[in-house]
Structure formats: C-alpha cells, structure tokens
Amino acid sequence: MSLTTSAADVVPRLGLAARFRRFRDKTLIAVGPNAMELSDSAAFILACVDGQRSVAAIGALLAEEYGIDVDEAVADAADLIGQLADVEVLDLPNA
C-alpha cells in the first residue's frame, strides 16, 4: 500500500505477526520467514509507531530528530509506513 502525505491522518500500529530485535546496534524486523534490517531513520520511525500517533505526528518527530523539513519528513514517514504495511510489519486500520 502506498501512502501519500494526504494520508497524514492514518494511525499505524504494529502488526501482530511482526517481531523486532536490536542486535549489534542494528534493528532487525521479521514477519514469518522474511527478515530485514532497518536504517537508523527507519528504526526511529518504527519506534514512534504506538497506535496513537498519526503519520503526520510521526513525520513531525522525524523532522525534529533529524533537522529536516516537516513536509519532507511526513512524506518520508508515509512512504516507509506504507512499505512496512505491505510486508505486514504494520497495520493501517483506518487507511
């Protein structure tokens, strides 16, 4: 599912089947037999997913953390959240 900044009100939540682990300063996620390593910024976005923050709120936190433009951060957060929803790491119940 591709999210756009128009989906800024979507509130993602962690998928029930997703597993997370911090190993050797890397964040690893797995769903079923598939696993992937997240970049630091992607791990930050994932850590902000609490089932209450919207994509826009997560993007605002990302902008603050990395000193980037809020609109750019919201777009980046929306893109990653959409990708993580595609692989069932995240659920988008109100999308």
- pLDDT tens for each residue of the chain, 95 residues long: 555 545 789 999 999 888 988 888 899 999 888 889 999 999 999 999 999 999 999 999 999 999 999 999 999 999 999 999 998 899 998 76
Whole-number Å distance between alpha carbons of 8 and 2? 12
Per the structure block, which two tokens stand in for 48?
Answer: 């902000």
Per the structure block, which two tokens stand in for 72?
Answer: 């750019």
Nearest residue to 8 (alpha-carbon basis) of 68, 83, 60, 64: 60
The pTM score is 0.87
Angle at 29 between CA 92 and CA 21, to 5 degrees: 125
- Give the chain's domains with CATH numbers: 12-91 (1.10.10.1150)
